[in-house]
Structure 1
Amino acid sequence: MKRTVFTGGQVFDGTSTSLADVVVEGRRIVDVGVGLDGDDAVDCAGMSIVPGLFDCHVHVLIRDLDVARSEQEPYSLPYYEAVRNLSLLLDQGITSARDAAGADAGVRRAIEKGLIEGPRLQLALVMLSQTGGHSDLHLPSGGSRSMAMMMPNPGRPRAVRDGVDDVRRGVREILRAGADAIKVATTGGVMSVGDDPRHAHFRDDELEVIAAEAAAAGSYFFAHAQGAEGIKAALRHGARSIEHGYHLDDEAIDLMLSTGAWLVPTLSATQAIVDAGDRGVPIAPESLALAREALDAHRASFARAVDAGVKVAMGTDSPPYGHPSASNLDELQLMVRASSMTPADAWRATTASAAALLRQHDLGAIAPGALADLVVLDGRLADLGGLRERIRHVVIDGRRVR
């Protein structure tokens, strides 16, 4: 079997950095050290080599934040846009991602069969929500929004559930449809008009059954949670990760530490909404006001969580793919600017920590025996600027795909 050696790069192994060579044979890394040889050599002098990158919160069926436009387009169009969005993730070295609602099992299967290109993809399918919650498409007029990524279909069960029995059935239907994890909205959200991100959603008996059904299937649940009470409710019932976390208080941070839950901050998401509004994208005034109000609180909560030692995994909530300057990798710079995180901490959140969150134990590291997902980029890792343009090689399963 052919051995490919990536020579002379600064290797970040998921924990620390050193000058080394990396040898790939078949699907796996077989050696890391100095002076190694192989059948083919890739000169990485002046470059950095990192494990394949993770984004733990994407929505590959979404192009941008223009809901009014998307509601006027054919139902199937987002699936074709997902083909481009998945390719854009690979362009940025993101070799593993968790789609946090929208994509169904067919999207994942198309990647696995080689029909389309994309990262290793885990799925939530839908976001469970109570009536009047973040997934409820009801409008004051009596009609409903027609967002393709939220509408039930044969591969995407109904998201809005109320009461213990309905919630239990919902979890089982979602797992039956091929979900890797269960996503639950334990608060309202910014982009769903009519609910408030500070209000807690679902009661304890509903969350208890969600957690129990996910665990019985060997899965877990993670929570869209922005307000403090909804965050704490999710954590008390065993949420594996908190997504967003706008309003973390001391009790919430203590719960994250005691339960070992991850924070997926998605700093990009709040910033993207504000930026889109400034560019004239037709975002509901209520949503734009909530995003502007949340911006500083979001960053402050994240900084406090980092200082306390909460585990962090990188996730973006998909910055608008339709905007040419958007990059998921901007999240690394945002995390460092908003907190005491170092660039090395940000890389760890995007590799080893994210792999642990998603239970991908063969990924997130450069070490003998690990699956050969690698990214080679120009320059030093301490410089987080222009990462998208600095990508030179992307390897998945030992195959160079970029």
Structure 2
Amino acid sequence: MHTRTVFTGGRVFDGVTTAQADVAIHGDRIVDVGIGLDGDEAVDCTGAFIVPGLFDCHVHIMASDFDVARSEQEPFSLPYYEAVRNLSLLLDQGITSARDAAGADAGVKRAIAKNLIEGPRLQTAIVMLSQTGGHGDLHLPSGGSRSMAMMMPHPGRPRSVRDGVDDVRRGVREILRAGADAIKVATTGGVMSTGDDPRHAHFRDDELAVIAEEVAAAGTYFFAHAQGTEGIKAALRHGARSIEHGYHLDDEAIDLLLRTGAWLVPTLSATQAIVDAADRGVPIPAESQALAREAVGAHRASFARAVDAGVKVAMGTDSPPYGHPSDSNLDELLLMTQASAMTPADAWRAATANSAALLRQDDLGALAPGKIADLVVVNGEVDDLRGLRGRIRSVILGGRRVR
């Protein structure tokens, strides 16, 4: 028999402002929000505020740091055990829902659902579609290829590199068959993939059209790793639900985001994390370091223009911050406010209601009767976004206190 638990004495963030209120939960649902609520148990939230469970819409739980050379020397199965730790670290930060943007397969998601391991509610893309010579093609000048664990094909993870309409169509179908919730496609090169250029557009219109056709038939969507301008616009013209990164947005790209209603997941943490890791001595290729340092300014300027125009923003980080204790996914909230006109309330909304809408999670993202009881109790003031990782007091996942 479930007890009625009341979180009392704190302030509740309603998506716009905070106000003194209690939150009552029963089983896995929020049943009331208001003043003076009673229940079987009380949780004192004095000196704290309560927000809905947080989202990170762009994680890679099978990656633990940026040291690709190290990961190439590790046993194949090790990233799965590292993922157990990484999922736990997400919960530590109040992230109760996440979208893995390549790496985690159906078995990881199933293990969470069966309570074999603990972790956020997880949506998966399994692998990222890439053209030959694209962001997911780990070909080396020597003729060999990198064996980056989160991209390596195996029975639960179809091959990433696809070319031509028929191969791309088959790729989408194979990835969906493997259990993906959505399809991720690289419509540009990337910073961390040597040999390609983030500014170049990848996949042609007929290839992108078949991706859009297949996801529509399956009742799902595709989202795009897109850093350069032309690749961003190509993805949007073919119905991408979200643009990940968006380093180089021009007026037309911003207009397409607005007209299509697509989301921007800026991942400001990503370029900064690469620069920080390189400064700590992580052996990141010189080409990638240079691209990341060059991209930081353009990335923030593009994001600021998108915010000013009213583009919808959801929270995602892309970076695997698990390898260094000073890093936190929640730093993204502060970065968004520093780089644009977003307020702290806007940042919290990006990490809650907006992200829930992007991932089609209607039962999450708000503190309201009937919603799933995912909530986070955070010490301090809601407008203070500094040091959030160390200020998490409690994390409730589906009505269960997991932290």
Name the TM tier (shorter chain): over 0.9
User: Where in structure 2 are the equivalents of 1:237-316 lying within 5 Å?
Assistant: 237-316=238-317
2:109 aligned with 1:100: no
> 1:280: how far off?
1.2
Partner of 1:36: 37
2:132 aligned with 1:131: yes
> 1:308: how far off?
0.3
Partner of 1:384: 385
> 1:104: how far off?
0.2
> 1:394: how far off?
0.3
Contact 1:99–1:125 (8 Å) recurs in 2: yes
**Runs of 5+ consecutive residues of structure 2 not aligned to the other structure:** none
User: Where in structure 2 are the equivalents of 1:203-218 lying within 5 Å?
Assistant: 203-218=204-219
Aligned length: 402
Q: Return 289-298 or 311-320, whichever deviates more.
A: 311-320
Distance 1:319 1:138 in 2: 22
User: Where in structure 2 are the equivalents of 1:155-234 lying within 5 Å?
Assistant: 155-234=156-235
Distance 1:308 1:10 in 2: 31
Identity of aligned residues (%): 83
Cα deviation digits, residues 252-302 of structure 1 (max 9, x gap): 000000000000000000001111111111111111100011010000000
Contact 1:198–1:227 (8 Å) recurs in 2: yes
Partner of 1:320: 321
Q: What amino acid is aligned across from residue 197 of structure 1 in structure 2?
A: P
Q: What amino acid is aligned across from residue 10 of structure 1 in structure 2?
A: R
| SS of equivalent to 2:321 | coil
Partner of 1:334: 335
Distance 2:140 2:3 in 1: 59
Distance 2:271 2:299 in 1: 8
Partner of 1:59: 60
Distance 2:158 2:335 in 1: 34
Partner of 2:353: 352
Contact 2:237–2:256 (8 Å) recurs in 1: yes
| SS of equivalent to 2:332 | helix
> 1:45: how far off?
1.3
**Runs of 5+ consecutive residues of structure 1 not aligned to the other structure:** none
Partner of 2:141: 140
> 1:18: how far off?
1.3
> 1:360: how far off?
0.3
> 1:347: how far off?
0.1
Distance 1:196 1:250 in 2: 22
The alignment's C-alpha RMSD in Å is 0.6
Q: What amino acid is aligned across from residue 251 of structure 1 in structure 2?
A: E
Distance 2:138 2:243 in 1: 23
| SS of equivalent to 2:323 | coil
Contact 1:86–1:119 (8 Å) recurs in 2: yes
Partner of 1:83: 84
Contact 2:187–2:232 (8 Å) recurs in 1: yes
Distance 1:177 1:287 in 2: 31
> 1:8: how far off?
1.8
> 1:194: how far off?
0.3
| SS of equivalent to 1:337 | helix
> 1:160: how far off?
0.3
Distance 1:106 1:3 in 2: 34
> 1:14: how far off?
2.9
| SS of equivalent to 2:37 | coil
Q: What amino acid is aligned across from residue 176 of structure 1 in structure 2?
A: R
> 1:114: how far off?
0.4
Cα deviation digits, residues 94-146 of structure 1 (max 9, x gap): 00000000000000000000000000000000000000000001111000101
> 1:319: how far off?
3.6
Cα deviation digits, residues 63-103 of structure 1 (max 9, x gap): 10001111111111000000000000000000000000000
Distance 2:320 2:271 in 1: 9
Contact 2:271–2:296 (8 Å) recurs in 1: yes
State the TM-score, normalized to the length of structure 1.
Answer: 0.99
Q: Return 15-24 or 306-315, whichever deviates more.
A: 15-24
Partner of 1:70: 71
State the TM-score, normalized to the length of structure 2.
Answer: 0.99
Distance 2:146 2:136 in 1: 10
